[in-house]
Amino acid sequence: MIDWDDIDTVLLDMDGTLLDLHFDNFFWQEHLPRQYARKHQISEEQSSAHLEDQTRDNQGTLDWYCLDHWSRRLDMDIPALKRELSHMISLRPHVLEFLTRLHHSHRDVVMVTNAHPVTLEIKMEQVDITRWFDRVVVSHDLASPKEERGFWEKLQSLHPFDPKRTLLIDDTERVLDSAREYGIAHLLTLLQPDSQRQKRLDTRFPGIHHFDEIMPAGTGTS
């Protein structure tokens, strides 16, 4: 599926790629509606419907990922609520071995995430994998989400890479579409970003279940 001889740079998404998306889905679809309902003395069904209305128009924008935005808009301390569930944050299978092998292969490895900086901080407090990356790039710092071409252009200026020799692995197809339009040649998605949900069968990009399917050659555990 991947000819590693063609790859110099590996760009890796965080949520749903390196980390199990179950934490995020549970937070936004169950925990937050429950806490919002409790605060406003409404049913969880009413709370879920209201939150869905609030978020629908922001999907794929920086606001969608911005904890400051949602804290203000919902009058809720979103970071504090996330920390209540921090024990649910977990790596996907084979991630550490995959990152270790990439490190020992001497390729350029960059985390590219739409997660808010505070979300990144909360997650790395639980599963700190930053040591395996040459750089961690947060879309908020570039003022563009990965769904926009501008993200890749700014990333190129910040951390130069050859799109034709770059692999991006991301669970969001709108991000993969944007990367393909920019010219990134090697694109993979995840077939089961959330371990508690059914595997996706209708992806438009080549997909893997776990990273053991594409391990680069070599060993090393430190």
Q: So which residues are the catalytic ones?
A: 6
* Token digits of residue 175: 């991000």
Task: Return d(Cα 102, Cα 222) in angstroms, integer.
Answer: 12
Q: Residue 31, CB half-sphere, CA atoms under 13 Å: how many?
A: 19
Q: How far is CA 193 from each of CA 38, 64, 118, rounded to the nearest angstrom?
A: 29, 19, 21
Distance between start and end Cα atoms, the chain: 26
CB 204 within 8 A of CB 170: no
Of 202, 145, 137, residue with least CA distance to 178: 145
Residue 193 to residue 210: CA distance in whole angstroms: 10
